[in-house]
Structure 1
Amino acid sequence: MVKTLESIQNIYKLSDVAIESLKSEVKLKSLKKGNLLFSPQSRHLYISFIEKGLIRAYAFNEGKEITFWFGLEGDIVFPYRTYLKHEISYETAELLEDCILYQIPLLRFQELFLQNIEWATWGRKFAENQMVDLEQKFIAYQFKSASQRHEELLISKPELFNRIQLQYLASYLGMSQVSLSRIRAGIQ
């Protein structure tokens, strides 16, 4: 549980007691590449902490898959819509590699927030971080070129480039595979 705990503590430092309250609730789950963690056809009722592996989230727009998120070791994945509104999610989360996950039921995780001020603070900090990330991504798509977005991703998450298929990377960056290939080759 090393990556999971490191990620949790990076968001907000929790006491050993608070950490133990989570450890006693999570279940280890190993899933194979290609499995879907959740999709619009199913209700997913778990928060998943990625200990090992890679997951992508995508949705369809006019019949085309649009990748909008990649989850690596230490990341947390769950359908926000299900968590916040108790509705089926609009996105699909697909495993791009074999994954080891620690899972806790959504409702139990919410109970931790109600029972423990440390977890409540952690949840607030997590939400704040997600809002900043979302704002940065929005600004990048509004004001930066495809080449600039590629460069920023290469600097911020270089490990993605060796682990993700070109088509998913291009979709995430909002460009065609041809454009991404040209950028990578230095051709304008």
Structure 2
Amino acid sequence: MDQEEQIRDLLLKSLKNSALRRAYSAFARKKAFKKGEHLREPGTACRYCYFMISGIARGYYLRDGKEVTTSFCFDGDPVFSLESATRGVPAYETFEILEDAVMELISFNDLFQLRQQFPEVEKMWLLSVEAYAIWLEERLYSLQFNDAKERYALLIKKYPYIIQRVQLGYIASYLGITKETLSRIRG
């Protein structure tokens, strides 16, 4: 069983725990975001964990006025900067809403309380961080050792819906290539 399946199983079991449901409901809230909004100002600390219910967000770094896309977040994905959340430092990464979105959000202080109180929440947190580390390792490997065509093919294999929902300029940036190179690869 992989991390996603373990997390899904834990989540389903957790939903049966009425004390956990009540505690989570007391802390979490839903919020709608419009296309073009940012979850927080660049250079500020990440104080909330967002869970994408519907919509798309992209993570990016801003360097010398240029945006470099680092990630895309779709339905069911958590959206936050791990370093900023765990260390309380300003985040390098900023998140922009690419299509109107609804998210559930909970402060990291409240999430920490839930992790302390409910072992299943702590286990979900650890499995999620482990899954993120694996994703990050795969992404780093791909950027270092795959050529542009291989990176594009891998992206389409893992996330076939991305082409219909995300602008090609953002995809090119995510792949570390120019929009022109992406057009040649697609042609």
Q: So what's the TM-score if we normalise by structure 2? A: 0.89
How far apart are 1:40 and its partner, in Å? 2.3
Deviation string 1:70-94 (CA, Å, 9 cap, x unpaired) is 0000000112232111111111100
2:102 aligned partner: 100
Conserved 8 A contact 1:11-1:126: no
For 1:135, the aligned partner's letter is E
Q: What runs of 5+ residues in structure 1 fail to find an aligned partner?
A: 1-5
2:134 paired with 1:136: no
Counterpart pick for 2:113 among 87, 105, 111? 111
Distance verdict in 2 for CA 1:164–1:42, change over 3 Å:
same
How far apart are 1:96 and its partner, in Å? 0.3
Distance verdict in 2 for CA 1:11–1:124, change over 3 Å:
farther
Counterpart pick for 2:86 among 69, 84, 88? 84
Counterpart pick for 1:124 among 126, 132, 137? 126
Conserved 8 A contact 2:45-2:85: no
Conserved 8 A contact 1:27-1:104: yes
Using the alignment, how far apart are the partners of 1:87 and 1:41 within structure 2?
9
Conserved 8 A contact 1:58-1:65: yes
Using the alignment, how far apart are the partners of 2:33 and 2:72 within structure 1?
17
Q: What runs of 5+ residues in structure 2 fail to find an aligned partner?
A: none
The percentage of aligned residue pairs carrying the same residue is 31
For 1:84, the aligned partner's letter is T
Using the alignment, how far apart are the partners of 1:178 and 1:67 within structure 2?
16
SS in 1 for 2:109: helix
How far apart are 1:140 and its partner, in Å? 0.6
Q: CA RMSD in A?
A: 2.0
Using the alignment, how far apart are the partners of 1:71 and 1:20 within structure 2?
27
